[in-house]
Structure 1
Amino acid sequence: MSRGGPHDGHCLSPGLHGDAQTWAPVMRALPDGVHATPLDLPAVADLDALVDEVAGRVAPGSVVVGHSLGGVVAMHLAERHPSLLADSSWSPPR
């Protein structure tokens, strides 16, 4: 779904074998007026490089929500680019 420039609001980051479509049920359940952009994680082997590339897709003041690997990305975004995020949330794999 999302591969372009920075997105504002909420950014949803999937797990290792997921993609933007992983978030389709969540997107359908969001209340009216809540904007969220599901991200596809790029195929980058180095975590720091992955996080830096994702940072280019997240607008300042965004909330990043991640699951599994997406949660790791959200945590590292908060560490490497703290001024970028308004907040972050992550969940462990099930």
Structure 2
Amino acid sequence: MGVWIRTKNKERLINCKSLYIGIIHFGNGGKGDNGIESYGIYEDEVIGTLGNYNSKEKTLKVLDMIQQYIQSKDNEDMVFQMPQDEKVKV
């Protein structure tokens, strides 16, 4: 069983079996880099992020939302829409 998740940009609908959080770095990658860091939610078998957020807390909140969505459903085929960053309140 998996859950169908539509990516934040709404361009992909993916049957997800396993999700994890990864860190995305923007910048030159050197130590002391002032580049931007964000957190993404990924699926093991899919290349690319399902959605990225500007804090680890927001990203964990979205995983909590997915978990609650799964637990509230009776059927096997369900779709969760990844929320936009500004819609996630921690």
Give the TM-score of the pair, scaled to structure 2.
0.31
Bigger-Rg structure (1/2):
2
More strand by share: 2
